[in-house]
């Protein structure tokens, strides 16, 4: 089984140095010799130059740089074509980089970063003037730097090449896009920059106001948290009180039932007492009637006894005489 170093050996791109670039050019590669300038070759890179064709953004007007320079106003956009015609082998690609001097002048290079292996043709660049002054592009001026890197082998897929760029012309579709491009004048850009600055200031002010409002909100949140905790405690106490109330209600219900029982018993006792009282009154009436009858009976006896005594008293002397004589 192959190791990782064996699998990836030779896969790292190698930057070509000046001697390798010259050798490839002598062999009809890298550049078309008629467009190559040895003074633009550096130790491991090459400075591409502005070609003859250009087009203004917003109007689509083509400008021949063989006759005049391209005046790019503040906020203006244009398309340029390279003087050099590239003839890249299938195992070499190019890496593009903007010239630092242009950035000092407020010129922004708008282009891709890589040129695929096997590409044949001129390169097309977009340039934008972000400064407050006009900038003039002239044919032959250095516009960007290119570094060539060799791959471990040839690529299978060939890049798409525009016939116009292959012959040093700006493609018609690019010209149409440039004609319909809405390019903002510098004053509008400056005004919008000011608006963005004002918006930024407003956002910072709003952020500060938010911070000022945030502190009371934090304090309010803390207070709400405390109140919530107190409410939770009160809820717990309420639950306990509800349990105690429930227990007391049960006891009161039991006491009520006991009172109902006692009340029923008292009612029964009262009714029994009333009945007993009624019976007592009847008994007393009977006794009274009996006493009356006994009294009358006694009186009759006394009367009879008195009569008997009288009668006996009247017969007593006779009887006495008969018994004892004179």
Identify which has the larger pLDDT, 36 or 321.
36
What mean pLDDT, rounded, does the chain reach? 83
94 has a pLDDT exceeding 70: yes
Least confident of 48-52, 168-172, 307-311: 307-311
Predicted pLDDT of residue 1? 41
- Summarised one tens digit per residue, pLDDT across range 213-269 is 777 888 788 888 887 787 778 777 777 777 777 777 777 778 778 777 877 877 787
Q: HEC string of 123-138?
A: EEEEEEECCCCCEEEC
Band (pLDDT 50/70/90 cuts) for residue 6 is very low
Least confident of 28-37, 57-66, 229-238: 229-238
Band (pLDDT 50/70/90 cuts) for residue 326 is low
Q: HEC string of 50-67?
A: EEEEEEECCCCCEEECCC
309 has a pLDDT exceeding 90: no
Q: 8-183 belongs to which CATH class?
A: mainly beta
Mean pLDDT of 70-94: 95
From residue 257, alpha-carbon distances to 194, 249, 250, 264 in Å are: 89, 12, 11, 10
Predicted pLDDT of residue 218? 80
Mean pLDDT of 285-289: 76
Least confident of 45-54, 155-164, 183-192: 183-192
% of the chain surpassing 70 pLDDT:
88
% of the chain surpassing 90 pLDDT:
43
Identify which has the larger pLDDT, 106 or 239.
106
Q: 85 Cβ partners below 8 Å, 6+ apart?
A: 31, 32, 34, 35, 120, 121, 122, 166, 168
Predicted pLDDT of residue 2? 42
The whole-model pTM stands at 0.56
Predicted pLDDT of residue 205? 80
Identify which has the larger pLDDT, 179 or 315.
179
- What are residue 93's phi and psi, to 5 degrees? -120, 165
Predicted pLDDT of residue 37? 96
Highest mean pLDDT of the ranges 142-146, 245-249, 256-260, 281-285: 142-146
Predicted pLDDT of residue 8? 41
């Amino acid at each position: 089984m192959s190791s990782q170093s064996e699998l990836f050996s030779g896969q790292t791109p190698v930057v070509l140095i000046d001697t390798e670039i010259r050798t490839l050019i002598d062999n009809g590669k890298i550049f078309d010799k008629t467009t190559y300038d040895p003074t633009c070759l550096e130790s491991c890179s090459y400075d591409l130059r502005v070609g003859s064709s250009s087009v203004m953004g917003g109007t689509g007007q083509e400008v021949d740089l063989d006759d005049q320079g391209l005046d790019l106003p503040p906020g203006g956009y244009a398309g340029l074509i390279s003087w050099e015609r590239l003839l890249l082998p299938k195992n070499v690609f190019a890496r593009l980089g903007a010239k630092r001097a242009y950035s000092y002048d407020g010129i922004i290079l708008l282009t891709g970063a890589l040129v695929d292996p096997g590409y044949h043709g001129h390169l097309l660049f977009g340039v934008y003037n972000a400064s407050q002054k006009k900038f003039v592009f002239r044919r032959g001026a250095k516009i960007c730097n290119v570094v060539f890197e060799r791959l471990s082998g040839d690529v299978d897929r060939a890049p798409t090449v525009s016939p116009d760029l292959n012959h040093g012309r700006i493609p018609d579709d690019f010209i149409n896009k440039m004609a319909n491009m809405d390019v903002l004048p510098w004053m509008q850009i400056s005004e919008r920059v000011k608006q963005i600055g004002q918006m930024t200031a407003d956002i910072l002010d709003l952020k500060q106001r938010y911070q000022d409002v945030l502190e009371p909100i934090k304090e309010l949140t803390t207070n709400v948290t405390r109140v919530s905790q107190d409410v939770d405690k009160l809820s717990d106490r309420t639950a306990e009180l509800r349990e105690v109330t429930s227990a007391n209600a049960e006891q009161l219900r039991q006491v009520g039932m006991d009172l109902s029982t006692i009340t029923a018993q008292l009612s029964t006792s009262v009714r029994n007492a009333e009945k007993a009282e009624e019976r007592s009154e009847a008994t007393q009436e009977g006794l009274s009637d009996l006493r009356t009858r006994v009294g009358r009976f006694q009186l009759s006896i006394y009367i009879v006894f008195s009569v008997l005594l009288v009668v006996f008293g009247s017969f007593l002397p006779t009887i006495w005489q008969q018994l004892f004589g004179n």
